[in-house]
A and B are shown apart, each in its own frame.
Chain A
Amino acid sequence: MGLLTILKKMKQKEREMRLLMLGLDNAGKTTILKKFNGEDVSTISPTLGFNIKTLEHRGFKLNIWDVGGQKSLRSYWRNYFESTDGLVWVVDSADRLRLEDCRQELSSLLQEEMLAGATLLVFANKQDLPGALSKEAIKEALALDQIKSHHWCIIGCSAVTGENLLAGVDWLLEDIAARIFTTD
């Protein structure tokens, strides 16, 4: 039995998933995580290292890792790739000036071998802002249509209002579950 098969078996027993949230600094990762978990979002500081949340959702045990996106922290992202089932890429839809940065960071992530099996959910966050780009515009700017290596999906959301956070996470869980718990 190979290592991955064993890990799969182990996870199958616990119905456990590991989700990794990444994105540029200020995208709203920590706010999404806390809002999703029903916590106060007004006290959130820029993330110096990372946060981990374990929560139950739809019968799954989710281990969610939220890693700081500040430039000087990005080289540490790879510390968290191991065993990732789902990658949540968070975008500040109103930050037009850094969309190119955002595209580059995502595209280099998708080339990482350790993330090869992961499902990708892109959250086009901050849709509550009047200047936010639509999820279609973000899809184009990030060239998502060119991704052939991963299952992916983009969802427009707002961490402040909570809009569509559930829809995004549910899609992600469904996709992962179909892959790791029912196949083989």
Chain B
Amino acid sequence: MDAAAEISQESGFTGESGAARIQERLQKRHQERIDDAERRKEAKESRSVAEEKGDYFFGTFNKERESIEDILSSCSGADRAVLTQKLEEATAKLLQLQKFLSDSTMFLKPYDLRQAQAALQKLQTSLTETREEGLPKKKFAFRTRTKAKDKSSAPEADTSPDAVTPAESGTSEVDGSAASVQCGISNMDNQCLTKTAEEIQKQDVLLSHLTNCKVHLFGAPSTLHLKHIDSCEILCGPVSSSVFIDQCKNSTLAFPCQQLRTHNTTDTQVYLHVTSRAIIEDCRGVSFAPFSWSYPTLEEDFAVSGLDQNLNNWSQVDDFNWLAAGTPSPNWTVIPEGDRRTSWDP
């Protein structure tokens, strides 16, 4: 029913102010209906755009794939000249298809991307096989030639860049093994450990083989590595690039960083501020909440790290072992608000 008609009709039965009120209410309801319809339409449109793009992608991808398969299967029995030409065509098409896939990664779901990559790999393998079957000699001729050439020029290639390379910076010293010392803490049990800004600022920090420890890192390191951590609480100031975790269990971690890369980790809580993305690989029972630890110089350390304090993608975690479309990874969860740590006192 037309909204204007509805309003004028109803206002005919009521007094002045009542009519205004009803009119207002109706107007509001009408607006809500419009908004709602708009929302539904938008959602539908964006969904269908994504679907259309996906459909278009797979339509084209599969057509191209089949045509390459056809070329390859027509290779058997062909004479050398024809075969060469066919292989050339297949190679060019395959490269094009690779490019097409890479141009489409923006809107493809991770699962679809994997499928397409697997299909490309299969094509690649059969192309290589077909070539090996049909043109074994050519290939070896090429290899032998490069090899022979390499023998004479490889040492020269190794030394020549030194000429174009400006003198090495202070980090490299005469004795490679003694040249640099990594900043960090290793092999500790049942300890409370602290590092200050002076110790870790702009450093690459490594914590390894710690059990039942409480670690407070005040300051802004360049990067942080955690390896073999068991039942620890590790809190760290803003890390300007990546945090890399391997083999950590039953622990609580908190830090801001640019990237988080978590591997082989189980039953661990991460209170995270991440400005790009967090990923997990080969993990179970990892849970996330927004970074909530604080200490007096946190703001200054954020400034030193260069991280954007207002940009936090803590809940957008990619699982490299779970790229299925639609279904969320069973390997990580968001910590429910009621269960989050609020106090970080030592």
A13 at the interface (CB under 8 A from B): no
One digit per residue, 1 when the CB lies within 8 angstroms of any chain A CB and 0 when it does not, for chain B 239-264 equals 00110100000000000001101010
A55 at the interface (CB under 8 A from B): no
Instruction: Report the interface size class on chain B.
Output: 35 or more
One digit per residue, 1 when the CB lies within 8 angstroms of any chain B CB and 0 when it does not, for chain A 61-74 equals 00001000011110
One digit per residue, 1 when the CB lies within 8 angstroms of any chain A CB and 0 when it does not, for chain B 171-195 equals 1110011011111000000000000
- Whether A43 contacts B276 by the Cβ 8 Å rule is yes
- Whether B143 contacts A72 by the Cβ 8 Å rule is no
- Whether B173 contacts A1 by the Cβ 8 Å rule is no
Provided the pairs A48-B110, A164-B166 are in contact, do residues A4 and B102 lie with their beta carbons within 8 angstroms?
A: no
The tally of CB-CB contacts under 8 A between chains A and B is 201
CB distance from B203 to the nearest CB of A (A): 6
Contact of A140 (CB < 8 Å), options: B157, B176, B261: B176
B160 at the interface (CB under 8 A from A): yes
Residue in B closest to A44 when the chains form the complex, CB atoms: B276
A contact residues, total (Cβ < 8 Å): 72
- Whether A95 contacts B225 by the Cβ 8 Å rule is yes
- Whether A130 contacts B113 by the Cβ 8 Å rule is no
Q: Which residues of A contact B216 (CB under 8 A)?
A: none
Q: Which residues of A contact B320 (CB under 8 A)?
A: 48, 70-73
Provided the pairs A72-B321, A96-B182, A129-B223 are in contact, do residues A45 and B259 lie with their beta carbons within 8 angstroms?
A: yes
Q: Which residues of A contact B154 (CB under 8 A)?
A: 147-148, 150-152
A78 at the interface (CB under 8 A from B): yes
State the CA gap A94–B154 with chains docked (Å): 27
- Whether B117 contacts A151 by the Cβ 8 Å rule is no
**B interface residues with partner A (beta carbon < 8 Å):** 84, 87-88, 91, 94-95, 98-99, 102-103, 105, 110, 113, 117, 120-121, 124, 127-128, 131, 135, 138-139, 141-143, 146-147, 149-151, 153-154, 157-158, 160-161, 164-166, 168-169, 171-173, 176-177, 179-183, 202-204, 206, 208, 222-223, 225, 227, 241-242, 244, 258-259, 261, 263, 275-277, 279, 281-282, 306, 308, 318, 320-321, 323
